[in-house]
Structure 1
């Protein structure tokens, strides 16, 4: 474990530390959840900051690991720098705002007050930038990956980031355009930790599948050591699964028990 952490910091120290900061936000949110009984739509006010912090931990650490798959010159390039600073800025803005709104007992998403509505629009821009930067890093890995590393591994990392970026954006915009992550049903939250709707469509399922392509596809290669064609097929299958989950949710069908 110590060697894994050291390697993560070697690949990209700033992104590695960003993951630890997100872990701190998660611990704070869970502690607040245990002490603060306030709720929004049937769940703790601290659920949203906890979920975002939990998602940012693997996001930052996956990007840090992917940095080590770039060619050395590409890691120091302008595009890589753009990915780094836009990612840190957008993620920091979203996490701080969501946590502040939780502390105030107000929703950060689909808010009804003027400030909340304005900031929700800005959060939409921040989310779009995050997924765009993931897709850009994926393209960089595919275009300027380290030739000394296996081609199928570079393909798995690059396609994972690309699928996450593109479909993460598609599913995110679907939620924003619908005005709610829920389609039909009563909105009764399902089981923790995700609380996906149990009696209607929930667009968050497709969004979850989409953004975690960046871990699923490299994980597939690590488990199978498959060649380029199986990795490509797995990428298409994961993308198809995300799209199918999106269409089911749009039809009002639940996937959560």
Structure 2
């Protein structure tokens, strides 16, 4: 079964290029395909079904989760395929994730069909059981992601995983570590609020901080525009898995136009800087949400800290590029001097 689901990746070249063939995890790709279909169906639902749940269109949550799972499943299927050591263990972790992600979506779609909320709903024994299944499922998915993370991070560069050069390796490893942290931030939403404890209405847990769920929010996403919202750092953290490796890819593409980026250590330094910036922004968004502060109405302190983070990253990247350019120029001068000495020696 394992052999049928994967193929042997080609050996990594000495230049650090990724293998030409990747042993994609097929069960996760199947989940991604199913979620793509669900995303289309949910988009149609948004058009033809105008009912709302907690102030949002009924089919907005299935659409959001379907798209998120598509991205997550494809990325995890790719990462598992990069592994050389522990691939069988990772394959089972990915397969369990695939099954439980489907369980999660069945519950979400079922709640949408019933015109009710899926998350935090303990209003009846049936809804409490469904919410319990969802909670257990997503915790197991989280642990499965940690298994893959451990194999990627601690597998070692020799035979552990075919991640490519140093910059890609840092990007992939840091991206999945931050993504696991982002997934873990969901636990902050699962405790009942003080208002819910004082006046229990069958809901135990909330996305927003400072106000009840269902107020003014960003269209489709639903993120609160009047209170803190823990979905924001959860979302940003999870998608470090895609965004940080994307940053590494952009740096690699810029290498053709910017010779200063050709030495690997300078690309690694830029990826480390981007990772530090991403981590700082994630921490800031988490503290902002916990403080009950809206993402669109940041306090003066939040604005200053964010500006300092971006400015620090910009300065660091500028210094890296300047050092890279100087190094490139010095190497060019050295090569020219060597050529001149050889030329004069030949003439003599």
TM-score of the aligned structures, taking structure 2 as reference length: 0.65
After superposing the two structures, state which structure 1 stretch, 49-58 or 13-22, moved more: 13-22
> 1:138 touches 1:160 (CA, 8 Å); kept in 2?
no
- Is 1:253 matched with 2:265? no
* Equivalent position to 2:79, from 66, 77, 80: 66
The equivalences for 1:78-227 within 5 A come to 78=89, 80-111=90-121, 112-144=123-155, 145-147=160-162, 149-169=164-184, 171-178=185-192, 179-185=205-211, 187-225=214-252, 227=267
Q: Which structure dedicates a bigger proportion of its chain to helix?
A: 1
> 1:23 touches 1:53 (CA, 8 Å); kept in 2?
yes
Cα-to-partner distance string for 1:52-89 (whole Å, 9 max, x where unaligned):
10110100111122123222x433x22x1232122112
User: Structure 1: which 5+ residue stretches go unaligned?
Assistant: 1-6
User: Structure 2: which 5+ residue stretches go unaligned?
Assistant: 1-19, 193-204, 253-265, 298-348
* Equivalent position to 1:54, from 67, 70, 74: 67
- Deviation of the 1:21 alpha carbon: 0.8
> 1:167 touches 1:211 (CA, 8 Å); kept in 2?
yes
Cα-to-partner distance string for 1:20-50 (whole Å, 9 max, x where unaligned):
1111111111212222222111112211111
SS at structure 2 position matched to 1:177: coil
Separation in structure 2 between the aligned mates of residue 46 and residue 129 of structure 1, nearest angstrom: 26
Change (3 A) 1:155 1:104: same
After superposing the two structures, state which structure 1 stretch, 83-92 or 133-142, moved more: 133-142
After superposing the two structures, state which structure 1 stretch, 183-192 or 245-254, moved more: 183-192
- Deviation of the 1:137 alpha carbon: 1.3
SS at structure 1 position matched to 2:119: coil
Higher RCO (CA-CA < 8 Å; seq separation 6+): 1
> 1:168 touches 1:207 (CA, 8 Å); kept in 2?
yes
- Deviation of the 1:122 alpha carbon: 2.4
- RMSD of aligned Cα (Å): 2.2
> 1:131 touches 1:166 (CA, 8 Å); kept in 2?
no
* Equivalent position to 2:49, from 19, 36, 42: 36
TM-score of the aligned structures, taking structure 1 as reference length: 0.87
> 2:227 touches 2:294 (CA, 8 Å); kept in 1?
yes
Moved over 6 A (4+): none
